[in-house]
Structure 1
């Protein structure tokens, strides 16, 4: 049976009164017997939760989308036979994904994105609709890339996302004139990465909307070799968004 609903979601949005928000979400998630992690920062929210399907969806509807700041929160779903988290944690952080570049503020405006179906078509052709060479840039840690990646994607062997700015500085020249699509697990890292690349003067940069999880959901495993590493007890998901192995 696969009756445990797992969700992943994030949103860059200006937040204040974080302790009160933390307590509200902690109380509601605890009351619904949800497990996982919710990260809060002044720049937004990032969460991975699992539990009974009705309880998870009620939490999303009432506690998240019921808050005007999260009304359009996009949630990615997958299923498992058991809850892949040991406990519930709601934490306040400096950033919901750490880059140490405070000038990069996605809440002020997203980088352009490409949807899964369009990307798959571009990968079929090896070029975008303008005829430019297409480069897939993996913004995840090296051990995540080792579990699976888009075929031929660039891998800068990051050990943490905070290393991305320095890696970009070292490799930016090789990306000029090409269409660069940054991608990650669920979209949060590649969104910041795309904004930084545009700030550094790269003109044709896009993020993969919703990351690998949304791509698997909408397209499957076309052009992707291996599985998608996830930071819970499932370890990796296959193209059906089921635990691999």
Structure 2
């Protein structure tokens, strides 16, 4: 396993986005790093892969900017490069929700860390005796690769459907502790803020998403794999890739591009 894969995001107010885009693209290209970086006024979202020296050198460069010093970085390894190219884009949102009132940079929803969540699931309730409901905020094809046991799945085709789904199903969430979760934390952070604004009282986001949960708790209470947006297609609870990338075909790259386009 010679390629280091990282996923990270941070909601933070950004400006001068075209200049920032060019600087990041140049820094990545100079280090032969591939993957995707999304920039918006609300923050940064990145999925990158290269040898570990290049990745750590880039992160040291990026985090010289105080706005990026608190990136929560999830790491995994693969035998080969899972990305076919480098893309750095400026977007209206780093994860599209089409709900401008949701501003995570202004304040996060409460988060629960992976060990605490596992303890809650082991005991069947949170520390206040409330039943815990896991709410999957991902798209349907991601859920089908794997999810927490008995998780709520609203069969979302895209994340922009989430606000309406909350309005349609909010009664079923009453009286429970709701833990929203996603791949790496970005969607469940926006989701948790929306849920609280919709009047759902006891809401947490899973800090770091499924990837951080796998890193700290393994497969406990989770069935299947975690879908990822590169040619690995998914990782198991040990963060090992589903697909042998070195043996993969161009169809894997086409699959990845299609899923990235559908993610929002």
TM-score (norm 1): 0.98
Residue aligning to 2:32: 33
Q: Does 1:108 align with 2:106?
A: yes
Measure how far apart 1:126 and its partner are: 1.2
Structure 2 stretches lacking a partner, 5+ long: 244-264
Q: Once superposed, what is the RMSD of the aligned Cα atoms?
A: 0.6
Deviation track 1:6-51 (CA, whole Å, cap 9, x = no partner) reads 0000000000000000000000000000000000000000000000
Residue aligning to 2:52: 53
Residue aligning to 1:180: 178
Which 4+ residue blocks in structure 1 deviate beyond 2 angstroms? Answer: none
Q: Does 1:23 align with 2:25?
A: no
Residue aligning to 2:79: 81
Residue aligning to 2:257: none
Distance 1:197 1:138 in 2: 13
Deviation track 1:89-114 (CA, whole Å, cap 9, x = no partner) reads 00000000000000000000000000
Residue aligning to 1:43: 42
Residue aligning to 2:233: 235
Measure how far apart 1:244 and its partner are: 2.2
Residue aligning to 2:8: 9
Deviation track 1:209-230 (CA, whole Å, cap 9, x = no partner) reads 0000000000101000000000
Specify the SS of the correspondent of 2:130. Answer: coil
Deviation track 1:184-214 (CA, whole Å, cap 9, x = no partner) reads 0000000000000000011100000000000
Deviation track 1:49-99 (CA, whole Å, cap 9, x = no partner) reads 00010100110111x211010111111100000110000000000000000
Distance 1:211 1:73 in 2: 14
Residue aligning to 1:205: 203
Residue aligning to 1:163: 161
Residue aligning to 1:152: 150
TM-score (norm 2): 0.91
Distance 2:63 2:174 in 1: 39
Specify the SS of the correspondent of 2:48. Answer: strand
Q: 1:140 aligns with which of 132, 138, 141?
A: 138
Specify the SS of the correspondent of 1:149. Answer: strand
Report how many residues are paired.
243
Distance 1:165 1:126 in 2: 27
